Amino acid sequence: MICATTVNSIHRRSDCRICHGSNLELILPLTPTPIGDQYLDVPKPQPLYDFNLYQCRSCGFVHMLDEIPEFHHAHVFLTGSVTSAASHFESFARSLIDFCGLQKGDMVIDIGSNDGSILQTFKALGMEVTGFEPNARLTQISRDRGITTISEYFGKGHDVRQAKLITANNVVANINDLDAFMDGIVEVLAPGGTFVFESFYLRDILQNRVFDFVYHEQPSAFSVRPVKALMRRYGLRLFHAEYTQGRGGLMRFYCGAGRPEVPDDDQLLYDPQTYAVMAKSISEQREKTRSFLGELASAGKTMCGFGATVSATGIIYHFGLADFIRFLVDDNPAKVGRFSPGLHLPVLRTEKSREVDYTIVLPWLFEKAFKQVHPNNKLIIPLPYFNVA
């Protein structure tokens, strides 16, 4: 049963988050959804919010204009809980220390520092460290590890030592007020220091048709040209951009003062026709998926959805999958036993997927991992292109 109603957003921007231009073009209208990661212990009505992507014709920035109230997750993800985390963090820290020419005793600030795992690695390599983490539980875990952590959102006015390196991994895309954020960056960045942030890359959204990478809690999709425009406004330059393969593709942006800028990225990212093609392809994948699922349902076949994620909410709503899915499966203990946003589909362990005829893979990145654990399951993959495996 759908327990959600459409409401107006608390605030809809009329300007670009980066350059404040007003020439904003709707490039991808999507089906309204509830807040994508508000999985519930007990079903209750949840409002729907508009879910549309716009591009600023002045600087090229792609983002949602609708801003929702801030909320806090009851269940949080621990950065250090990933099996390969320790080796990844050491490689990450060493590469930045070398690239930025850091010396022992230099200050490193991490924004959205989670459980302190990344800063713990920098500290072990001789750096002074400070984290910013608004979640009280994560802050305490970090402090228990000996990491100085400020339990507040990052911004201007904090009494901290200036940093030779500021990092922000997969957090800047979640920020509504980029001006307040950048005010804080320029205040605490030491002369000759480097601000490095990592985020998913706009090009990957286009290539893989993964419109679900942008959602209410993560309204921005970064690319080189708009990041250059943002840095210029604050006296910095984007002097290096590095693409990595993690999490389906990430771009690492290196910013500092007095450095030559990198060239712009692919002009196609800023061509309106590119988004028209993308919208058409998404529509085609939606129709192929729904047609196939309709045939299966008519034949009496049963289906579940794999992936109780924030992005799954967008796919379920925009593709109209609630008509076919009996339940969701996931092995994340923070999601099992809860109910999906708006539609309130129960979340069960992945082993329950063996009791239905087909599993619809919602987070396409995890198709192979799921298949390894459940090799006999028949899978339906809506994106990037409709496929049955």
- pLDDT above 60 (res 294): yes
Residues 261 and 193 in one domain: yes
Looking at the DSSP bridge assignments, the partners of residue 197 are 168, 253
Tokens at 227, concatenated: 């990041």
What DSSP line would sit under 210-248, residue for residue? -GGGSBTTB-EEB-HHHHHHHHHHTT-EEEEEEEE-GGG
Residues 97 and 214 in one domain: yes
Query: Greater confidence, 317 or 366?
Result: 317
Cis peptide before 384 (omega within 30 of 0): yes
- pLDDT above 70 (res 338): yes
Residues 83 and 145 in one domain: yes
Residues 244 and 167 in one domain: yes
Helix (H/G/I), strand (E/B), else coil: 275:
helix
Asked if residue 137 is part of any domain, the answer here is yes
Q: Final residue of a domain: which of 225, 241, 270? A: 270
Q: What pLDDT sits at residue 11?
A: 81
Asked if residue 377 is part of any domain, the answer here is yes
97 and 89 Cβ atoms separated by less than 8 Å: no
Asked if residue 283 is part of any domain, the answer here is no
Q: What percent of the chain has pLDDT over 70?
A: 92
- pLDDT above 70 (res 72): no
- pLDDT above 70 (res 78): no
* 90-109 average pLDDT score: 94
pLDDT tens-digit series, residues 295-331: 999 999 999 999 999 999 999 999 999 999 999 999 9
- pLDDT above 80 (res 249): no
Asked if residue 277 is part of any domain, the answer here is no
Q: What pLDDT sits at residue 71?
A: 52
Q: What percent of the chain has pLDDT over 90?
A: 81
Residues 192 and 213 in one domain: yes
161 and 130 Cβ atoms separated by less than 8 Å: yes
Count other Cβ atoms within 10 Å, centred on residue 300: 7
Q: What pLDDT sits at residue 131?
A: 97
Q: What pLDDT sits at residue 45?
A: 93
Residues 123 and 26 in one domain: no
- Please tell me the distance from the alpha carbon of residue 357 to that of residue 249, in angstroms, as a whole number: 32
Residues 42 and 122 in one domain: no
- pLDDT above 50 (res 85): no
**Radius of gyration for the alpha carbons in the chain, expressed in angstroms and rounded:** 21
Residues 265 and 164 in one domain: yes
Domain hosting 198: range is 79-270
Residues 293 and 218 in one domain: no
Helix (H/G/I), strand (E/B), else coil: 171:
coil
Tokens at 5, concatenated: 């109603």
- pLDDT above 90 (res 2): no
Q: What pLDDT sits at residue 124?
A: 95
Asked if residue 161 is part of any domain, the answer here is yes
Q: Final residue of a domain: which of 47, 67, 87? A: 67
Going from the C-alpha of 104 to that of each of 149, 234, 383, the distances in angstroms are: 20, 28, 46
Residues 114 and 255 in one domain: yes
Name every residue whose Cβ is closer than 8 Å to that of residue 4 and which is 6 or more positions away in sequence: 34, 45, 46, 47, 48, 342, 343
Going by pLDDT thresholds of 50, 70 and 90, the confidence category of residue 90 is confident
Q: Exposed/middle/buried for 197, CB within 10 Å: 0-12, 13-18, 19+?
A: buried
* CATH code, domain carrying 259: 3.40.50.150
Going by pLDDT thresholds of 50, 70 and 90, the confidence category of residue 1 is very low
Q: What pLDDT sits at residue 67?
A: 84
Residues 236 and 321 in one domain: no
pLDDT tens-digit series, residues 128-170: 999 999 999 999 999 999 999 999 999 999 999 999 999 999 8
Asked if residue 279 is part of any domain, the answer here is no
Q: What pLDDT sits at residue 210?
A: 83
Going by pLDDT thresholds of 50, 70 and 90, the confidence category of residue 209 is confident
Q: Whole-number mean pLDDT of the chain?
A: 91
pLDDT tens-digit series, residues 265-282: 999 999 999 999 999 999
Closest CA to 130 of 166, 85, 86: 166
Question: DSSP character for 84?
Answer: T
Please give the tally of structural domains in the chain: 3
Q: What pLDDT sits at residue 118?
A: 93
Q: Final residue of a domain: which of 270, 304, 337? A: 270
pLDDT tens-digit series, residues 5-56: 555 556 889 999 999 999 999 999 999 999 999 999 999 999 999 999 999 9
Q: What pLDDT sits at residue 246?
A: 66
Looking at the DSSP bridge assignments, the partners of residue 67 are 11
Name every residue whose Cβ is closer than 8 Å to that of residue 35 and which is 6 or more positions away in sequence: 46, 49, 68, 71, 216, 217, 341
Residues 48 and 125 in one domain: no
Asked if residue 276 is part of any domain, the answer here is no
Closest CA to 132 of 146, 144, 149, 156: 149
Closest CA to 236 of 264, 202, 260: 260
Asked if residue 94 is part of any domain, the answer here is yes
- Please tell me the distance from the alpha carbon of residue 345 to that of residue 364, in angstroms, as a whole number: 19
